[in-house]
Amino acid sequence: MKSNKYILLSLLVMMASPLASCKSNENEIVVAEVTHSIFYAPQYVAKNLGYFKDEGLEISFITTPGADKTMAALLSGDADIGLMGPEASIYIEKNNAKDYVVNFSKLTQKDGSFLLGREKDDNFTFDKLKGKTLIGGRKGGMPEMVLEYVLKSHGLDARRDDPTAEVNIRTDVQFDVMAGVFVSGSSDYVALFEPSATQVETNGNGHIVASLGKESGIIPYTAYSSLKSKIEKNEEMIVKFNRAIKRGIDYVKNNTATDVAKAIQKDFLSSPLEELEKIITNYKNIEAYADDQKISKEEFEKLVSIIKLAGELDENDNPSYEKLVTDKYIK
């Protein structure tokens, strides 16, 4: 069953309208991002190259670590748009909230994490994970659920926090310290996003052995969403936002990793240009960025099946694609 934190969050939905922030300019948008990551390069390109300004939008970003916190920012009115995995909207809608969260644009179409081991292994196969322990991330979050899906797709008996399992997936380590815990010597493998994956490898503390995004295939991994009521009151704003993001996606796809790195460098000052280039190349190689901003029903149903496999939805739960996804504002 899903985490109780989403049950508590769903109660906030009733209060979302009264709590919504008042803005002097209806074209001011606060975007809550689930993490500040190079994985979301197109949105930083859109900001830094003036694509939002071209649409008459004033964008500010806040980082809300974890989909639960991003959802809370939407429900409380602290943010207008959330960037997170669509699984959070599924959990909220399950509680029959009247004003639920709708996903209106896809940014990434694959998992952005990489599996790292302690030794370089150019001939890695997933059966090498038998008898091993992996640091997988928060229980019920997209990274951990996709990891579980990939391992089970390879025929492995992978279970959470169970040393008796063929593969033991640890969910007791917070997202922002997973790399540090692995580097300290704990566990055999870890699933990391960039820049952590490249930094661990560069420092000689681990080696990338597989891309979980390449293994899992296309899914609506990260999407933009907002409260249904807010979308309906600001339809033109959402259309403009989507256009700017589309230009950002196109820029990332059609330009070199060096050009993209330069375009987003001001947002990642702790990473040297060469590191940014390597990370962007990694993501371009697995085709992480959305070919189509629209979330198809097939993709949505694959996401639901992954969530059910992880035990975060019951088998008889049938989230409504028609309620939780719209492509009306993609022009």
Within 8 A by CB and 6+ apart from 284, the residues are 252, 253, 257
With beta carbons less than 8 A apart as the criterion, state whether 70 and 88 touch. yes
Token pair belonging to 325 = 């996804």
21 by DSSP, 3-state: which?
coil
**Domain boundaries of the chain, sorted by first residue:** 4-110+219-324, 114-216
Q: Find the helix or strand (DSSP H, E) in which 12 lies.
A: helix 4-12
Identify the pLDDT of residue 18: 40
Q: In CATH, which of 3.90.76.10, 1.20.1740.10, 3.40.190.10, 3.20.20.70 is domain 114-216?
A: 3.40.190.10
* CA-wise closest residue to 305 among 295, 294, 297, 315: 315
Amino acid at 325: V
List the end-to-end C-alpha distance of the chain, in Å, as a whole number. Answer: 37
Identify the pLDDT of residue 4: 53
Q: Do domains 4-110+219-324 and 114-216 have the same CATH topology?
A: yes
Taking the CB of residue 181, how many other CB atoms lie within 10 A of it? 16
With beta carbons less than 8 A apart as the criterion, state whether 226 and 74 touch. yes
Q: Find the helix or strand (DSSP H, E) in which 103 lies.
A: strand 101-108
Rg of the chain over CA atoms, in angstroms?
19
- pTM more than 0.85: yes
Partners of 117 in beta bridges: 207
- Determine the Cα–Cα distance for residues 311 and 321; give it in Å rounded to an integer: 20
pLDDT tens by residue, the chain, 331 residues: 455 555 455 555 444 444 344 455 678 999 999 999 999 999 999 999 999 999 999 999 999 988 889 999 999 999 999 999 999 999 888 766 678 999 999 999 999 999 999 999 999 999 999 999 999 998 888 999 999 999 999 999 999 999 999 999 999 998 889 999 999 999 999 999 999 999 999 999 999 999 999 999 999 999 999 999 999 999 999 999 999 999 999 999 999 999 999 999 999 999 999 999 999 999 999 999 999 999 999 999 999 999 999 999 999 999 999 999 999 999 8
Taking the CB of residue 221, how many other CB atoms lie within 10 A of it? 27
Is CATH 3.40.50.920 what the domain over 4-110+219-324 is classified as, yes or no?
A: no
Identify the pLDDT of residue 176: 85
223 by DSSP, 3-state: which?
strand
